[in-house]
């Protein structure tokens, strides 16, 4: 079990809350914006790892995993991470609690409040198609036109199919607003064929970059190879920042990229 604390938090007063169950879906990513009050991020992490089932059950509810609480409460999470990031102003820190259990990954985001901490959103991924290191890639913070942008990823698929959704959010008035979403990775291995098609997309410098490639279905493919082994130059679709609607919107047709996507 692993705990990563990136920044030490200040003390929080005791509070309690009851999370709701109103899920939205963006591709394979699920998000719940119902609020819940935490005593502190550290106490939530401790309760998620508690040897007491009742404590774990309460922590799962506060973290936003109540739809699977009975299933997940039987064992402590395999991994837990606590991160802190500045999503709106340098002097304010938000907490992100991530944990993985039985192929489910959750990332709960909370802001400091007068009574402790307020959970403002939780992301869910049924990540059975991902490797064990995916927890490090579920949520990250990058910087763009909206300032600090929260990048969330989740995967799904079926027989011969795998895909991964990427969605970008920014904090506005203590609400995570969606800025852009797309299918980041896609693999299709049709039955009866000996090849698989791959598509890899990334959002860099205001452009959505797309590369395609085909490999034998018996080959273990590093996704970095898709941008190197494609049969055509990557395609770039320009986007602009729409400040009025607070999101990225396409600003032109796709065209061959003038440079290789970052590796």
Q: Is residue 254 part of a domain?
A: no
**Cα 66 from chain centroid (whole Å):** 18
Of residues 16 and 83, more confidence is placed in: 83
For the chain, state the CA radius of gyration: 20
pLDDT digit string (tens) for 16-25? 334 445 899 9
Residues in the chain: 263
Both tokens of 25, joined, read: 């879906």
First to last CA, the chain: 30
pLDDT band at 214 (very low <50, low <70, confident <90, very high): confident
Give, in order, the Cα–Cα distances in Å from 255 to each of 145, 197, 208, 238, 259. 23, 21, 11, 9, 12
Give the model's pLDDT for residue 6: 35
**Average pLDDT, integer, range 56-83:** 91
pLDDT digit string (tens) for 110-168? 999 888 999 999 999 988 888 655 677 889 999 988 889 999 999 998 888 999 999 99
Q: Is residue 56 part of a domain?
A: yes
> Domain range for residue 96?
1-146
Q: Is residue 226 part of a domain?
A: no
Q: Is pLDDT of 14 > 60?
A: no
Q: Is residue 244 part of a domain?
A: no
pLDDT digit string (tens) for 169-204? 999 988 999 999 999 999 999 888 888 888 999 999
Q: Based on the structure, what is the number of domains in the chain? A: 1
Beta-bridge mates of residue 141: 150
Question: Strand, helix or coil at 33?
Answer: coil
What is the chain's mean pLDDT, rounded? 84
Rounded CA separation 99/135 (Å): 7
Q: Is residue 27 part of a domain?
A: yes
Residue 158 burial (10 A CB sphere; 0-12, 13-18, 19+): exposed
Q: Which residues contact 222 (CB under 8 A, 6 or more apart)?
A: none
Q: Is residue 31 part of a domain?
A: yes
**Average pLDDT, integer, range 215-229:** 69
Q: Is residue 72 part of a domain?
A: yes
Q: Is residue 235 part of a domain?
A: no
């Amino acid at each position: 079990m692993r705990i990563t604390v990136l920044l030490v938090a200040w003390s929080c007063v005791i509070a309690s809350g009851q999370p709701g169950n109103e899920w939205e879906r963006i591709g394979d990513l699920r998000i719940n914006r119902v609020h819940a009050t935490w005593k502190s991020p550290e106490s939530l992490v401790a309760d998620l790892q508690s040897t007491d089932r009742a404590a774990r059950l309460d922590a799962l509810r506060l973290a936003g995993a109540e739809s699977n609480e009975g299933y997940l409460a039987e064992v402590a999470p395999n991994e837990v991470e606590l991160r802190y990031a500045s999503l709106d102003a340098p002097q304010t820190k938000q907490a992100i609690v991530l944990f993985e259990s039985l192929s489910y990954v959750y990332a709960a985001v909370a802001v400091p409040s007068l009574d402790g901490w307020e959970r403002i959103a939780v992301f869910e991924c049924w990540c059975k198609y991902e490797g064990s290191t995916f927890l490090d890639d579920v949520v990250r913070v990058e910087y763009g036109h909206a300032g600090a942008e929260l990048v969330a990823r989740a995967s799904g698929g079926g027989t011969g199919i795998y895909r991964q959704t990427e969605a970008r959010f920014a904090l506005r008035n203590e609400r995570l607003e969606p800025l852009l979403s797309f299918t980041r990775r896609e693999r299709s291995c049709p039955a009866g064929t000996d090849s698989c098609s791959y598509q890899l997309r990334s959002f860099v410098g205001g452009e959505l970059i797309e590369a395609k490639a085909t490999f034998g279905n018996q080959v273990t493919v590093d996704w970095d190879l898709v941008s190197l082994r494609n049969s055509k130059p990557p395609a770039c679709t320009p986007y602009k920042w729409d400040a009025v609607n607070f999101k990225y919107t396409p600003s032109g047709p796709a065209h061959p990229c003038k440079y290789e996507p970052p590796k």
